Structure 1
């Protein structure tokens, strides 16, 4: 009987952990730091009944099994961010960068003007040694130099076509339209997530 009770107790613990969840709240903002109302929140690829209010705010119950939280606005499109069990997550849409933001070194790359782009096997090879102040190590870890942050040994924030991504492994070099590097004041709009710099990648349509 004692063994049976122990097994039941263990099963209850496992079950409770399997259904662990967190209440996540935050705001959705546009590139002018203005609230985006009426945006729908998604858990991975499943729509919820939660939409942002007039202040751009939301509150969402998120199971621990969820990998990504996404936002969809009819006017502004999609945003996605990896879920790391945090209780606060803010989303910000990027403005469409003007033509002069697609910079060549030292601020970034414009592969449309670089005929050697197709010779690079990975996005890391493409960036390595070609953007001043950006170090791509042998293990493909990226560090933005010259930023005023105690976290300057951490990887930068990656944004691909307006979406926050954990990794840029999936980016194909010959599909890249431009790479722009932001740091310090330019990256401050992303808060602590941009403390180690921001790398903005735009893909060809």
Structure 2
């Protein structure tokens, strides 16, 4: 913190001759409240640049009517214009570039932790991805829920939710399709999926022992007629 304060004071003294300066503090998040670390933040006019800390926070010196540029390798770039109406604290929400691998790549780049990412995307809706890009329902689940595994292939494939300790012989999750418990979801077409919820914590207890391995809840657009043609 002392180093950050010293750097801020140095920037203030250097840029004061070029006009009014402001120190803008803020936080970068994604998926509503997931902190994004190591994210590049740059002030276009002042030239100051910094990366967010492990909690997604940053503090940067800006010039009058400056523009903050936010860049990350698997995220859409974002710009925030600094005006008199903006306070000295900003909250910036960034979006992933569409693609099944980008959320996993975000872990490798150090932007987010795997545990936090898994918890943050327990719900997936059509607004989050083009489900028709996936060949089957298991590829969709594998691609969009890091830490959730798919064992096997075809109608006998099983979804294994990481961190579950099974009390049953089977380790696959419980499947709930349009409010009805089913033995398999292999017939569900990704194009007909409206939303997917993965429950891996204590919330699954409402399903009793059947939910001991976690629950995959799928809501389809066409209801129970949602089958692959």
Max Rg structure: 2
**Larger helix fraction of residues:** 2
Q: TM-score, normalised by structure 2?
A: 0.40
